[in-house]
Structure 1
Amino acid sequence: MHTTRNTILEAWMSEHGYSSNSFAEAVNRAIERLAGRPGGLDGSSVRAWKAGRVTWPKSAARRALEDVTGLPAVALGFVPRGRPPSTPAPPQQEEPDMKRRTFVGSIAATAAAAATPGAASPRHIGMSDVNRLNKRFAEIIASDHRHGGQLGIEQEAAALADAALNLQNAGSATQRVRSNLYTSAAAFRSSAMWAAIDGRRYDVAQAHMREAQALAEMSGDQAIKFRIWSHAGTLYRHIGRPADAFAANDVARNLHLTRRDPLFGSLGLARQGAIHGAAQDPTGTRRAFDQAQDAMSRADPADYRPVWMIAFYDQAELDSLALSAYLALGDYPTAEYHAHRCLSALRPHMIRSRAITTTRLAHAQLAQGAPDAATATAMKVAVEAATRHARVTRMLQEFGAALRATAPGSPSVQTWTEHTAAWRMAV
């Protein structure tokens, strides 16, 4: 029987450094966490997935795959039973950056060719074009959780937003397809916006935000509107404009989607709590997080949600936002409590989030007069995040300054100085 290799899964595993055996172990651990029993997969099981001999894993394995990767099974190249597989792209040997540039270029070339005057017949733009974009969006989300606010992620997402828009003029399409193309363009532009926020490129983030908001309105998609306005609230919180942050987050929270799906309501409330923390409002902070926790408990895990939502919002993210809020309030014991909860629940693909949470935990410990413990915690941050992620780099610089101010001449200062020097040599 002819089988089609799952090149998407292969590419994801390669990017994240998994062999067939190590990936099977990660999925087995996730099955045990989710189902309370050990998973029975091995390297041959994963090789069967990659070879296309198994196109739709069992439900327990699919849930575990989502837990490990932060992506739904279909975004990893699996095909539900009864649905014909799409024609795969031929295997490529280029580096990941080259693959991404080739993909963006191919979409742009398709749009340009279809829109060329005098073409024999206009091309029909269909849901297969949208689905190709959606697969790339899932990969953008995965790269963001691994690497954080890199300029390359921002530029790639912006280019894909433009490519999605170019398809609007590349041929005939139904209204459903056109709405989905606007949704894809808005989603990519919102990822560019988030990468710029995460990389502390705030002026650029605001430019992405304005375009993303316009695209979201044309799409009519409630979920992407929520994402963009919620990110806008985060942007304003980071640049010290709490009134604007509340106003933007309120736009997200007032969408009827938050009443239909309590998980969206929970995320809106949790981000509201983070803004209350930045605004030095302890009562508002506690109220918002209590309500966010309650809303999360009422959310149905079986409800359909977009890939960006299921990839990151869970109990760990709620605790991460609470950690940020209580750290801003100066309530360091409560901040430390949420940091430990977050770290214990973070999914394996949340590499950037783990670095940020670990750094914040170090700050909370230092503020409670524990420089040795704080230094040991800060030293757990991976060198790549410490040196290449703007937000983490800045927080670690602030940690070093606080450590030298509060424990001058201590062994912890010497240890930290030597550790950071080793980081610089590793870059």
Structure 2
Amino acid sequence: MNAALLDITGRPGDVSDRTVRNLISGATRRPIGRTRRALEAVFRCSLRDLGFACPGTTAPPEDPVRRRQFITVGTALALTPATPARSAPRRLGVSDIERLHRRFADVVAHDHRHGGQLVIEHKASALADEALSLQASGHASQRVRKQVYASAAAFRSSAMWAAIDGRRFEHATGHMRVAQQLAEMAGDPYIKFRIWSHGGTMYRHMGRPSDAAAANDVARKLGLTRQDPLFASLGLARQGAIHGAAGDGTAARRAFGQAQDAMLRSDPQAPRPVWMNAFYDQAELDSLALTAYLALGDFERAEAHGHRCLAALRPHMHRSKAIATTRVARAQLEQGDVEAAVASAMSVPADASVRHPRVVGMLRAFGARLESIAPATAPARTWNQYAHDTWRQST
């Protein structure tokens, strides 16, 4: 309930253990205000459906079946379980942190494979709540407590990224707000970098390059970009993509040149968070350059970076491969190489072409542009038939 209130109001909730006990026992029959909003958000139904009286109405007769259902579901979903209040609190330690890190690595792996799926967003958000409930379940040193907050922030940042990738920008903004608060409590510069860097990408996709540059600048000004050139490289590469979206070719080329230099200076063996090691390398830098030059209309240069990206992508980067392939197809189409463009677009894996929101949108835009550039041609007919069959099977 407290996490729900943080999402809804932007301020931490103050629901206590006593509040929950009164709700379950029936002592509270007519929840009001923040308690009502939190209950309806957590259970995704009205107070009446939970067996409570709504404000301004007389209390209904007690429905024992509804009450039992509420207690059962509440026990399963409660973010602050009552068990610790009845038993001696345990001490949180390194094993708890390691378990959170393993689950975070699983979220990152699923994101690279499937990307943008609502189930990934919900899973990451639930794991953030689970990490916060762990905080309330026992004692911990300051160092361990900060690591738990950092894990919760990391999970929220993954939920944010899944929402960005799925074009659910309102959800992404909410996750970002919560993730920022958790990152501040953790005092972890790495997760702060991830959140603000994601923020820059989110605003770029929303068509707000000024906000994108401002958010990305927050990430780039963190001290770790001076300590590790690889973080500086990522910040610069994303800045280059933002310049591309804003139509500033000179600034984009300068940023990508600096990003490449910083990457060459970085130590590949330096210790880094799992999310950084999992995705940022030469292939990702070229992918961002592909994005920028496509936006700038420099299609030949965009295609060159696209082929470099595809040649260097690691096997687990399924989503990145689908996105880069679709962009290469668009760059080829804009250069008049229609047959190659259609062949590239048809090589996008079928699961991504029907399930990944960003890829689906890009392929539909490709089809519309193909119809504009080369209507009624053999490649256009081939694509139209392929697209019809592919998307029909997905419905």
The verdict on a shared fold, with TM-score over 0.5 as the criterion, is yes
Q: Report what 1:346 is aligned to.
A: 313
Within the candidate set 63, 71, 81, 1:112 is matched to 81
Q: 1:178 aligns with which of 134, 145, 149?
A: 145
Q: Which residue of 2 aligns with 1:198?
A: 165
Structure 2 counterpart of 1:112, which letter?
P
Quick check: 2:164–2:172 contact (8 Å CA) kept in 1? yes
1:359 aligns with 326
**2:238 aligned with 1:271:** yes
Alpha-carbon distance between aligned partners in 2 of 1:279 and 1:392, rounded to the nearest angstrom: 22
Residues 324-350 of structure 1 show CA distances to partners (whole Å, capped at 9, x for unaligned) of 000000000000000000000000000
| Structure 1 residue 153, shift from structure 2 partner | 0.1
Structure 1: 5+ residue stretches without partners: 1-104
The 10-residue stretch of structure 1 (165-174 or 321-330) with the greater mean CA deviation from structure 2:
165-174
* Of 129, 134, 142, the match for 1:162: 129
Residue of 315, 318, 335 corresponding to 2:285: 318
Matched ranges for 1:81-230 at <5 A: 112=81, 114-115=83-84, 117-119=85-87, 121-230=88-197
Q: CA–CA distance in 2 between the matches of 1:282 and 1:424?
A: 36
From 328, 332, 343, the counterpart of 2:299: 332
In 1, Cα distance between equivalents of 2:257 and 2:77 = 47
Structure 2 gap ranges (5+): 1-73
**Residue 426 of structure 1 aligns to a residue in which SS?**
helix
Indicate yes or no: 2:203 matched with 1:236: yes
Contact conserved, 1:148 with 1:199, CA < 8 A, in 2? yes
Retained in 1: the 8 A contact 2:79–2:133?
Answer: no
Question: Could you tell me which amino acid in structure 2 is paired with residue 405 of structure 1?
Answer: S
Q: Residues of 2 paired with 1:110 and 1:405: CA distance?
A: 53
Name the TM-score, length of structure 2 as normaliser.
0.79
Partner of 1:82: none
Deviation string, structure 1 residues 301-360 (Cα, Å, up to 9, x no partner): 110000000000000000000000000000000000000000000000000000000000
- Distance (Å, rounded) in 1 between the aligned partners of 2:347 and 2:266: 34
**Quick one: which of 253, 258, 261 aligns to 1:286?**
253
Residues 249-291 of structure 1 deviation map (CA, whole Å, 9 limit, x = unaligned): 0000000000000000000000000000000000100000000
C-alpha contact (below 8 Å) 1:114/1:122 kept by paired residues: no
Alignment partner, residue 218 of structure 2: 251
Deviations 1:106-152 (A, max 9, x none): 9978962553x232x11111121111111010000000000010000
Distance 1:231 1:110, change over 3 A: closer
The whole-number CA distance in structure 1 between the counterparts of 2:76 and 2:308 is 43
Identify the residue that residue 46 of structure 2 maps to in structure 1. none
4+ aligned runs moved over 3 Å, structure 1:
105-111
Closer/same/farther in 2, CA of residues 391 and 246 from structure 1, 3 Å limit: same
Q: CA deviation at 1:178?
A: 0.4
Cα deviation, 1:217-276, whole Å, max 9, x if unaligned, reads: 111111100000000000010101111111100000000000000000000000000000
**Once the 2 structures are TM-superposed, how far is the Cα of residue 179 of structure 1 from its aligned partner?**
0.3
Q: 1:219 to 1:107 in 2, by over 3 A?
A: farther
Greater radius of gyration (CA): 2
Partner-residue secondary structure (3-state), 2:279: coil
In the alignment, the residues of structure 1 paired with residue 379 and residue 224 of structure 2 have an alpha-carbon distance, to the nearest angstrom, of 49
| Distance (whole Å) between structure 2 residues aligned to residue 109 and residue 277 of structure 1 | 45
CA RMSD of aligned residues (A): 1.6
Q: Of residues 360, 375, 385 in structure 2, which corresponds to 1:393?
A: 360
Q: Summarize the Cα distance change of 1:318–1:108 in structure 2 as closer, same or farther, 3 Å threshold.
A: same
Q: Take 1:299 and 1:399, find their aligned partners in 2: how far apart are those partners?
A: 37
> Quick one: distance in 2 between partners of 1:334 and 1:110?
50
Q: Distance in 1 between matches of 2:393 and 2:106?
A: 28
SS in 1 for 2:81: helix
CA contact (8 A) 1:107 1:163 kept: no
Give the letter aligned to residue 233 of structure 2.
Answer: S
Percent identity over the alignment is 64
Separation (CA, whole Å) in 2 of partners of 1:311 and 1:363: 27
Look up the equivalent residue of 1:403 and give its one-letter code: L
